[in-house]
Amino acid sequence: MNTVDRLSVLKTYKLYVGGKFPRSESGRVYEVTDSKGTWLANAPLASRKDARDAVTAARKAFGGWSGATAYNRGQILYRVAEMLEGRRDQFTAEVAAAEGLSKAKAAAQVDAAIDRWVWYAGWSDKVAQIAGSANPVAGPYFNLSSPEPTGVVAVLAPQDSSFLGLVSVIAPAIVTGNTVVVAAAEDAPLPALSLAEVLATSDLPGGVVNILSGRTAELGAPLAAHQDVNALDLAGAGQELATELEKAAADNLKRVLRPGTVNWTADPGTGRLLSFLETKTVWHPMGV
Amino acid sequence: MTFDYAPAPESRAVVDIAPSYGLFIDGEFAPASDGKVFKTVSPSSEEVLSEVAQASAEDVDRAVKAARKAFEKWSALPGAERAKYLFRIARIIQERSRELAVLESLDNGKPIRESRDADLPLVAAHFFYYAGWADKLDHAGYGANPRPLGVAGQVIPWNFPLLMLAWKIAPALATGNTVVLKPAETTPLSALFFADICRQAGLPKGVVNILTGDGSTGASLVGHPGIDKVAFTGSTEVGKAIARTVAGTDKKVTLELGGKAANIVFDDAPLDQAVEGIVNGIFFNQGHVCCAGSRLLVQESVADELLDALKRRMRTLRVGDPLDKNTDIGAINSAEQLARITALADAGEAEGAERWSPSCELPSSGYWFAPTLFTGVTQAHRIAREEIFGPVLSVLTFRTPAEAVEKANNTPYGLSAGIWTEKGSRMLWMANKLRAGIVWSNTFNKFDPASPFGGYKESGYGREGGRHGLEAYLAPSSPEGAR
């Protein structure tokens, strides 16, 4: 019998862009440590070019994803929850390492994140019913308002919650048909990069969610200035960075969701869901 | 033998314009702190109508403080009481609608037919509509017991001076906010008359404050730290500047900006109705409409037939005295705007598009622009890309519905669009594909207080009108939520 301990196989973490797992085009990586400073992995340090590639992928995916039926999108979000459930232990370990939590506390975060996918999955075919309306105009017209996705949403994931926070900003944006480019929590990107592996195997079309790891400020700048990004979720930006990015976002009038203090374990409400929707009103005369 | 229309002028005697007006702050008219004034002229005659105060930063501060003070009591009123004030305002507007219509046509240059039959009825309707929401906010879908935001700083344009005021003030007051409103520099009068309506309605002092002034007054208002909400309707350029100003603050913002709407005509459309819709789409209010149907996309197979019919119809448009009840197209709002329209139309010619206008005699004084049609326009032409904000229509053609969608969406704007087809399934398919906040099918330029209005992309954010219009003035009861 061999008494030598088995050497474990380390994972090379990669970005998730357009349904593929590229290394950063820059070839750069940065050290990710646990809360005690112990080295965990080298994460790709995504560049501005990676951010632009991710926007291109998200735009390409938008037509198909926004055109899919709400029923289909709901099924896929639920599928993500199914796939996560099977990898619960892996994510518990990663979240525990990333956030310095006990195993029990990390497991609670993962469970809440799985449940959040389920919760948002159910919104796909209901949001139009609470956010739309039939409008009784003073004339012989059929007049209906319905919500539509804003387009490509750039998301700076929360820094204080590497997985539950991450899921809480991705799911509401995509369930309504938007596609997203996510900058993962800067110091704790590994749960996000592993989530990509789950998304890739959950029937989610490539490009709907694109995940980058790196410096939030470095990735935020090109995303906020990008003319083909329609909205910005600044959850993971500090006040100073948020102000700077909101100014840049004004160039093409991106919809901006400002950062705030959020309790990620609380009921999320519909705020985030409705922030990345437009309302389209259609008029048609009625007569015979 | 030809029959000419006899002049049918509306009487000016119904409106009494004072030689000068102050700012309306805390229920009182007062001159600007530094005594500055500017003149407002009638664009159809260049006659000086009155002199109004130019509000300074100090005046803005005073008005914001008055609104803040009034907010406490106003927001604490039961919704049913606020509703009654709004109903009173709606009724007084109806009573004084003839006076206000004449005033609006004098100061803005729009035909009396439109101010009388479109603007004023809609102004009253907006106050009626939002009056009814004031005591039903728990049912609006923004949570139980939603809160007003505080003081709203509102800046409105010159194309529909009183209607834009109604769009801004009615939902703000219904939800319990107080307002400081700045009307446009060239059309300040109807807002000042509205101040008098607030007085007649017994509205508490400070709930509505009106500051006349130019862009600098607007900038001071938007940048004032004491306001909680910015509402702006106007150009995309200014909208972007406002978005930068409020970056990093807690101010909630809605922006209703420019547009370059496609009005899409398919070969199966009822052509006569389509022609009426095209005319209404681009020549309503001299084309001074952000949602104007300024790009006509016509299916190639009917292009010649449609253009013949359109030109025939355009020859019947009557351009002239806004106070004449037979006038279809009034005066361009200002010399500055006329220069802008002229420059863009000239660019259209220079870039190779073919220009056509019906022969019409324009008055010798005032600011006028003949209804104009450009054919042979390509998507790269400035007249197909930039908002002209005047009676200028660019015509492009397409062959397939997919091409129509592609061309219609090929713009940074996304405010409105029109579809003309008898085929229901095609209409719904198109409406679904168009990236625009309002889609008019087999109709155009219809407005109603119950119907949400607002744009996608660079046409701005937020919706005005309907239940959706309340959202801009409410904070959800739970702290987590939308901006």
Choose the closest CB to A285 out of B141, B443, B467.
B443
Burial class (CB in 10 A: 0-12, 13-18, 19+), B202: exposed
User: Testing the interface with A: which of B127, B420, B448 to mutate, by most A Cβ within 10 A?
Assistant: B448
Determine whether the interchain pair B437/A282 forms a contact, defined as Cβ–Cβ distance below 8 Å.
no
* 8 Å CB contact between B320 and B286: no
B2: its two tokens: 């030809």
Cα A141 vs. chain centroid, distance in angstroms?
39
Catalytic residue, from B185, B290, B387, B471: name it: B290
Shortest alpha-carbon distance between residue B481 and chain A (Å): 4
Set of chain A residues whose Cβ sits within 8 Å of the Cβ of B476? 269, 271
pLDDT recorded at residue B480 = 45
Of A246, A260, A269, the CB nearest to B248: A246
* pLDDT the model gives residue A288: 81
Whether residue A100 lies within 8 A of chain B, CB to CB, comes out as no
Q: Are A30 and A41 in contact (CB under 8 A)?
A: no
Predicted pLDDT at B482? 40
Q: Say whether A275 and B482 touch across the interface (CB within 8 A).
A: yes
pLDDT of B213-270, one tens digit each? Answer: 999 999 999 999 999 999 999 999 999 999 999 999 999 999 999 999 999 999 999 9
**pLDDT for B148-168, tens place per residue?**
999 999 999 999 999 999 999
| Segments in chain A below pLDDT 70 | 1-2
pLDDT-flagged residues of chain B (< 50)? 480-483
Output the CA torsion sign for A89, A90, A92, A96.
positive
CB contact under 8 A, A253 and B458: yes
Q: What angle do CA B179, B181, B187 make, to 5 degrees?
A: 155
What does the alpha-carbon distance between residue B216 and residue B218 come to, in Å, rounded to a whole number?
Answer: 5
Any idea how long chain B is? 483
Q: What is the pLDDT of residues A224-246, one digit of tens each?
A: 999 999 999 999 999 999 999 99
Kindly name the residue from B10, B104, B114, B256 that is annotated as catalytic.
B256
Q: Does A287 reach chain B within 8 Å, measured CB to CB?
A: no
Q: Which of A59, A240, A262, A284 to mutate to test the interface with B (most CBs of B within 10 A)?
A: A284
Q: Nearest CA to A92 among A113, A107, A105? A: A107
CA distance B46 to B198: 30
Pair of tokens at residue B421: 């087809």
* pTM of full prediction above 0.90: yes
Contact A279 B446 (CB under 8 A): no
Dmax over Cα atoms in chain A, in whole Å? Answer: 89
Are the beta carbons of A137 and B461 separated by less than 8 Å? no
**Residue A274 CB-density burial (10 A; 0-12 exposed, 13-18 middle, 19+ buried):** buried
Beta strands at A255-257 and A231-233: parallel, antiparallel or unpaired: parallel
> Cα distance from B81 to chain A (closest Cα, Å)?
25
Q: What does residue A124 show for φ and ψ, rounded to 5 degrees? A: -55, -40
Nearest-angstrom CA–CA distance, B235 and B223: 18
CB contact at 8 A, B324 and B293: no
Active site residue B290: yes
pLDDT tens column, B379-388: 999 999 999 9
User: Residue B426: its pLDDT value, please?
Assistant: 98
Give the chain B residue whose CA is nearest to the CA of A245.
Answer: B247
Contacts of A274 in chain B (CB under 8 A): 482
| Size of the A and B interface in Cβ pairs below 8 Å | 129
In what order do the strands lie in the sheet containing B151-155?
A: B28-30, B23-25, B208-210, B178-182, B151-155, B229-233, B252-256
Q: Is A72 part of the contact surface with chain B (CB cutoff 8 Å)? A: no
Q: Tokens 């991450």 belong to which residue?
A: A166
CA distance B125 to chain A (A): 9
Cα B474-B456-B381 angle, rounded to 5 deg: 150
Residue A1 confidence (pLDDT) = 55
Exposure string over B128-164, b if 16+ CB within 10 A, otherwise e = bbbbebbbebeebbbbeebbbbbbbbbbbbbbbbbbb
Q: Do B431 and A138 touch (CB under 8 A)?
A: no
**Which of B239, B437, B479 has its CB closest to that of A280?**
B437
Of A242, A269, A270, the CB nearest to B248: A242
Q: What is the ipTM of this complex?
A: 0.95
Find the residue in B nearest to A254 (Cα): B457
pLDDT score, position B1? 60
**Helix A239-249 with B236-246: angle, nearest 10 deg:** 180
pLDDT at B146: 95
Residue-level pLDDT at B481 = 40
User: By 3-state DSSP, what share of chain B in percent is helix, strand and coil, each rounded to 5?
Assistant: 40, 15, 40
Report the pLDDT value the prediction gives residue B114, as an integer from 0 to 100. Answer: 98
Q: What is the pLDDT of residue A2?
A: 62
Residue among A173, A167, A172, A165 at smallest CA distance from A199: A167
SS3 of B103-141: HHHHHHCCCHHHHHHHHHHHHHHHHHHHHHHCCCHHHCC
Surface-to-core class of residue A27, CB atoms within 10 Å of its CB (0-12 exposed, 13-18 middle, 19+ buried)? exposed
Minimum distance, in Å, between the CA of residue A137 and any CA atom of chain B: 6
State how far the Cα of B361 lies from the Cα of B9, in Å rounded to an integer. Answer: 18
The pLDDT of residue B135 is 98
Q: Does A152 touch chain B (CB under 8 A)?
A: no
| B165: closest CA of chain A, how far (Å) | 20
Chain A residue closest to B240 (CA)? A250
d(CA A146, CA B452): 10
